[in-house]
């Protein structure tokens, strides 16, 4: 379809008489392109009787008719050339950009990469410096944004990442997907990291995402952990008749005694055990780390020494491990009620459940941190052992430890 500029007289009524204005009427140019319609004042005016509506020009014989018609022809050529050039450069013009280009205030340039093209480049470059597990999380985040785009029709383009986008996305997360603040905030964090990357490379010029109102939501979830007594009960429980639960128990307890993540325990090989230390490289951060062995972690390692080839411990998937952990905690009768508090925006959601229903492997690290501090270990040492670099997050454990100290004081001396 050929796009053509067309000229019409403005149709406006006199405010006092209500009649159509016929004298000194503005000549307007209309140009439709890519679903948009430009209305542009040509700078010329004529009386209605002087205008040939069918030919879209001033009638011959009137003063300045030839000059005006020649200028209208130039405007027609100019707008069509600007549009053709924008298509050749791969640049999608907005109405405002086309209007400014007509006035000579906007210069066309080669189009920058699209949002989707930049995202592919961003993920590829990030893969070079980030762990595979981190990359899986980031890709999952952008799958959520793609889902949002498909379900709502909101196009993922740099110019569209505005406050309106932010508000719509939060509504989608809370109302359609039932996400809480922590996960929604993680999605926003990943988006802002990408937008900063794109901005630094001049792919993006829309800085709405840096406004205070375009913020990453945060919340401090409850720290769920095993008390020292619960940990010892689990560690000593006789599970000889249920080998799969025994092995999952030992893996979990090893995490409670070392503070290691599941991925690092799963990758633990005999060469990582050097005298009384575990010397390994953390999968998540790729940083080297050394953890002193204690009698409990040594006992677990000795139990499985040489039984699993190049692995120190029996390993199954983390997904299956979390399923077995729930069965394990029911069998050991670790059913203490715990409360989980989450937020959706300002809405508080509190759920109380038995420990056996909410247990996951990640709680082993929280158990290590809590009991290490409760037994007199320093926060700096605990952070060094677990590889935790966020001091603000780690400080939350002090509140838990203070609560434990109060309970112990009450047991000894009464309330």
Tell me the C-alpha to C-alpha distance, in Å, between residue 9 and each of 17, 20, 53, 56, 61: 19, 11, 8, 9, 19
On whether both 356 and 401 belong to a single domain, the answer is yes
On whether both 87 and 150 belong to a single domain, the answer is no
| Partners of residue 5 on adjacent β-strands | 31
Mean pLDDT to the nearest integer, 60-66 = 91
What mean pLDDT, rounded, does the chain reach? 90
State which of 210, 244, 271 marks the end of a domain.
210
Dist. CA 264–CA 109, nearest whole Å: 50
Mean pLDDT to the nearest integer, 191-220 = 91
Residue pair 355/331 in contact (Cβ under 8 Å)? The answer is no
| Partners of residue 20 on adjacent β-strands | 13
| Contacts by residues 38-47 (CB-CB < 8 Å, ≥ 24 positions apart) | 38/79, 38/95, 38/98, 38/99, 40/75, 40/79, 40/99, 40/102, 42/7, 42/71, 42/72, 42/75, 43/71, 44/68, 44/71, 44/72, 46/9, 47/22, 47/23
Residue 110 placed within a domain: no
Residue 220 placed within a domain: no
Task: Count the helix, strand and coil residues of the chain and give each as a percent rounded to the nearest 5.
Answer: 50, 15, 35
- pLDDT attached to residue 337: 95
On whether both 203 and 242 belong to a single domain, the answer is no
- pLDDT attached to residue 414: 58
On whether both 274 and 165 belong to a single domain, the answer is no
Dist. CA 133–CA 126, nearest whole Å: 12
Residue 41 placed within a domain: yes
Q: Which domain holds residue 393?
A: 228-413
Residue-wise pLDDT tens digits, 239-266: 989 999 999 999 999 999 999 999 999 9
Residue pair 152/168 in contact (Cβ under 8 Å)? The answer is yes
pLDDT above 90 (res 298):
yes
On whether both 128 and 150 belong to a single domain, the answer is yes
Count of structural domains, the chain = 3
Residue-wise pLDDT tens digits, 78-134: 999 999 988 887 777 889 889 999 998 877 765 568 899 999 999 999 998 888 888
Helix or strand (DSSP H, E) at 235: helix 228-236
Residue 217 placed within a domain: no
Higher pLDDT, 42 or 380: 42
Residue-wise pLDDT tens digits, 299-353: 999 999 999 989 999 999 999 999 999 999 999 999 999 998 888 988 989 999 9
On whether both 305 and 196 belong to a single domain, the answer is no
pLDDT above 80 (res 192):
yes
On whether both 93 and 120 belong to a single domain, the answer is no
- pLDDT attached to residue 291: 94
On whether both 193 and 267 belong to a single domain, the answer is no
Dihedral angle over CA of 114, 116, 119, 120, nearest 10: -110
pLDDT above 70 (res 406):
no
Residue 74 placed within a domain: yes
Residue 259 placed within a domain: yes
pLDDT tier at 404 (50, 70, 90 boundaries)? low
| Partners of residue 347 on adjacent β-strands | 344
Q: At CA 244, angle to CA 242 and CA 248, rounded to 5?
A: 120
Among candidate residues 392, 362, 349, the one with its CA nearest the CA of residue 180: 349
In our burial notation (b when 16+ CB lie closer than 10 A, e otherwise), range 72-93 reads: beebbeebbebbeebeeeeeeb
What is the per-residue DSSP string for 19-87? PBP-SSEEEEEEEEETTEEEEEEEEEEE-GGGEETTTTEEPTTSTTHHHHHHHHHHHHHHHHHHHHHHH
What is the per-residue DSSP string for 239-266? -TT-HHHHHHHHHHHHHHHH---HHHHH
- pLDDT attached to residue 7: 96
pTM of the model: 0.65
On whether both 272 and 380 belong to a single domain, the answer is yes
pLDDT above 80 (res 357):
yes
Residue 109 placed within a domain: no
């Amino acid at each position: 379809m050929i796009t053509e500029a067309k000229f019409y007289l403005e149709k406006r009524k006199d405010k006092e008489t209500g009649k159509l204005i016929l004298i000194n009427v503005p000549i307007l140019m209309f140009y439709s392109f890519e679903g948009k319609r430009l209305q542009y004042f040509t700078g010329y005016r004529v009386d209605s009787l002087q205008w040939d509506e069918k030919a879209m020009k001033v009638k011959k014989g009137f003063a300045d008719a030839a000059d005006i018609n020649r200028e209208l022809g130039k405007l027609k050529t100019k707008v069509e050339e600007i549009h053709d050039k924008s298509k050749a450069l791969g640049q999608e013009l907005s109405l405002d950009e086309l209007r400014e280009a007509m006035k000579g205030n906007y210069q066309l340039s080669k189009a920058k990469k699209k949002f989707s093209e930049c995202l592919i480049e961003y993920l590829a470059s990030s893969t070079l410096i980030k762990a595979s597990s981190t990359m899986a999380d980031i890709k999952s985040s952008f799958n959520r944004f793609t889902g949002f785009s498909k379900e709502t029709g909101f196009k993922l383009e740099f110019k569209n990442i505005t406050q309106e986008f932010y508000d719509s996305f939060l509504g989608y997360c809370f109302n359609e997907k039932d996400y809480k603040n922590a996960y929604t905030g993680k999605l926003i964090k990943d988006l802002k990291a990408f937008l900063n990357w794109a901005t630094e490379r001049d792919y993006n010029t829309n800085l709405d995402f840096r406004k205070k109102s375009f913020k990453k939501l945060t919340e401090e979830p409850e720290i769920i952990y095993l008390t020292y007594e619960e940990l010892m009960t689990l560690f000593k429980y006789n599970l000889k008749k249920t080998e799969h639960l025994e092995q999952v128990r030992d893996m979990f307890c090893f995490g409670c005694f070392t503070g290691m993540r599941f991925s690092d325990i799963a990758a633990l090989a005999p060469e990582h055990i050097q005298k009384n230390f575990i010397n390994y490289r953390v999968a998540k951060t790729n940083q080297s780390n050394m953890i002193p062995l204690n009698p409990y972690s040594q006992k677990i390692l000795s139990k499985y020494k040489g039984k699993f080839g190049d692995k120190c411990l029996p390993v199954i998937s983390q997904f299956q491990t979390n399923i077995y952990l729930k069965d394990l905690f029911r069998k050991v009768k670790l059913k203490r009620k715990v409360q989980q508090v989450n937020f959706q925006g300002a809405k508080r959601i509190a759920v109380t459940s038995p420990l056996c229903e909410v247990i996951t492997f990640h709680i082993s690290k929280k158990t290590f941190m809590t009991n290490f501090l409760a037994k007199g270990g320093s926060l700096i040492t605990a952070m060094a052992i677990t590889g935790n670099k966020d001091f603000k997050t780690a400080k939350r454990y002090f509140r838990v430890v203070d609560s434990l100290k109060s309970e112990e004081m009450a047991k000894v001396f009464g309330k």
